[in-house]
Amino acid sequence: MNEYMTTAEVAELLRVPAETVRYCKGPKSFRVGGRRVLYAREDVAAFVASARAEGAA
C-alpha cells in the first residue's frame, strides 16, 4: 500500500477537481523534487475526519 497520494488521487477520493485540492484549504502536503506534491494518507484521513466533524456541528 502506498503511504503517499498524488493531488489527482486525493481529488478522486474527495470527488472534487484537482484544482480544488491544489488551491483551497485541504490536507497537508509537501513537495518532492521541487515540483511533485504529495499527501500522506494519514493527513488525508485526518482532513476528512475533521471536515466530517465540522459538518456534524
The secondary structure of 4-54 as a DSSP string is: EEEHHHHHHHHTS-HHHHHHSS-S--EEETTTEEEEEHHHHHHHHHHHHHH
Question: Using one digit for the tens of pLDDT, what is the confidence trace for 11-53?
Answer: 999 999 999 999 988 899 999 998 899 999 999 999 999 999 9
44 contacts: CB under 8 Å, gap ≥ 6: 5, 10, 13, 27
CA-CA distance, 35 to 51, in Å (whole number)? 27
Map out the domains of the chain as residue ranges: 4-56
- Asked if residue 15 lies in contact with residue 9, where contact means CB atoms within 8 angstroms, the answer is no
Q: What is the pTM of this model?
A: 0.84
